[in-house]
Amino acid sequence: MLTEVVSFKLASAPAGEVAQDLAKSHGVALSATYLHHLAQQVGQLAVEKHETWHLEAAAAPASVAIIATGVDGTTMPVVGEAYKEAMCGTIAVYDQAGERLHTEYLGTMPEAGKATFAQRFTTRVAWVKELYPDALHVCLGDGAPWNWDFFATHYPEAVWVLDFYHAAAHLHTAAEAIFGTGTEAEAYYERWRTTLRDAEGGVAPLLRSLLYYRNRAALSASAQQALDTELNYFRQHAELMQYADFRAAGLPIGSGVTEAGCKELIKARFCRSGMRWKRTSGAPILQLRAIRLSQHWDSFWSKVMRYAA
């Protein structure tokens, strides 16, 4: 069906490119404007049915031990407003061995307060948790305060994990505050990065080491200030950095799935050269893209044919 093909293609490419592809590959000559309007209609249906049509992947995992959720923001160009923050959420499921089985993506256009995102994301997470009631829920995030406020509001019972690679980046900044740039800083960073990741309670000795260097008179005032910032970071997030325990339990310790989701769901489609988006026209395309990336397309289209044809 042409409508399905067009909607599927426009989830990944601009209307002009899709028009060229249809003309060359299928001998179908349609204007970019027509294709855009067609996809808008389908995408708007996807937006409206987001909470009532529970979509599933073609091969839904049968045995899930861990549900890992992540949220993050990334900017996109908005008409008349330059760049504004859109939201991306991921729900990844893992087996008992810690292998990721499937990931689904949710996104919303820039919005003050992020209420639409919060409602959609929590609704979908609740459905996935109901589908796998025995799975352990893990929330992964970087150091952005909104992420942890969101988790505290909606998932206080979950296991919270601070992305290890963000923690490592802060460790690298601390090492350079102590030693400057060079081999000594790199050696310190590598040693304590390993300790933080692999040693049980590794954040505690790291804090003691950072505090030792903070109190050294040899450090300049600017270096002490930089180190204070990093010390506060590790103190505030110490409970979220129990990486050896997390890994022993088979839990993911990186939020790379969500960061990659920001790039793939939003940046790759909405931030091409010269693009500017309106919230009303961007939302349907974003929803179609999320459905496609989540491998929910067949499930979605079967419902379109059954309920909306």
Q: CA separation (Å) from 84 to 167, 278, 290?
A: 26, 11, 19
CB of 299 within 8 A of CB of 56?
Answer: yes
Residues 261 and 225 occupy one common structural domain:
no
Residues 158 and 196 occupy one common structural domain:
no
pLDDT at 283: 96
Q: What letter does residue 88 receive in the DSSP assignment? A: E
Q: How far apart are the first and last CA of the chain?
A: 12
CATH number at residue 104: 3.30.420
Residue 45: partners with Cβ closer than 8 Å, 6 or more residues away: 304, 308
Residue 295 lies in a domain: no
Residue 260 lies in a domain: yes
Residue 38 lies in a domain: no
Alpha helices (runs of H) in the chain, residue ranges in sequence order: 2-10, 15-26, 32-48, 115-131, 145-154, 164-179, 183-198, 203-214, 221-236, 243-248, 256-261, 268-270, 279-293, 297-303
pLDDT < 70 stretches in the chain:
217, 308-309
For residues 169, 173, 179 and 181, what is the CA-based torsion angle, rounded to 10 degrees? 80
CB of 95 within 8 A of CB of 64?
Answer: yes
Residues 196 and 239 occupy one common structural domain:
yes
Residues 196 and 70 occupy one common structural domain:
no
Residue 298 lies in a domain: no
The size of the chain, in residues, is 309
pLDDT at 82: 87
Residues 178 and 149 occupy one common structural domain:
no
Residues 70 and 150 occupy one common structural domain:
yes
pLDDT at 61: 78
Residues 95 and 75 occupy one common structural domain:
yes
Residue 137 lies in a domain: yes
Residue 193 lies in a domain: yes
Residue 103 lies in a domain: yes
Give the Cα separation of 279 and 110 in Å (integer): 7
Give the Cα separation of 297 and 300 in Å (integer): 5
Query: Based on the structure, what is the number of domains in the chain?
Result: 2
Residues 136 and 267 occupy one common structural domain:
yes
Residues 142 and 175 occupy one common structural domain:
no
pLDDT at 58: 75
Give the Cα separation of 103 and 57 in Å (integer): 9
Residue 263 lies in a domain: yes
β-pair type (136-141, 159-162): parallel
Residues 122 and 141 occupy one common structural domain:
yes
Residues 243 and 175 occupy one common structural domain:
yes
pLDDT at 103: 96
pLDDT at 254: 94
CB of 289 within 8 A of CB of 271?
Answer: no
Tell me the residue range of the domain where 262 lies. 66-162+255-277
Residue 148: partners with Cβ closer than 8 Å, 6 or more residues away: 141, 160
Residues 71 and 152 occupy one common structural domain:
yes
pLDDT at 26: 82
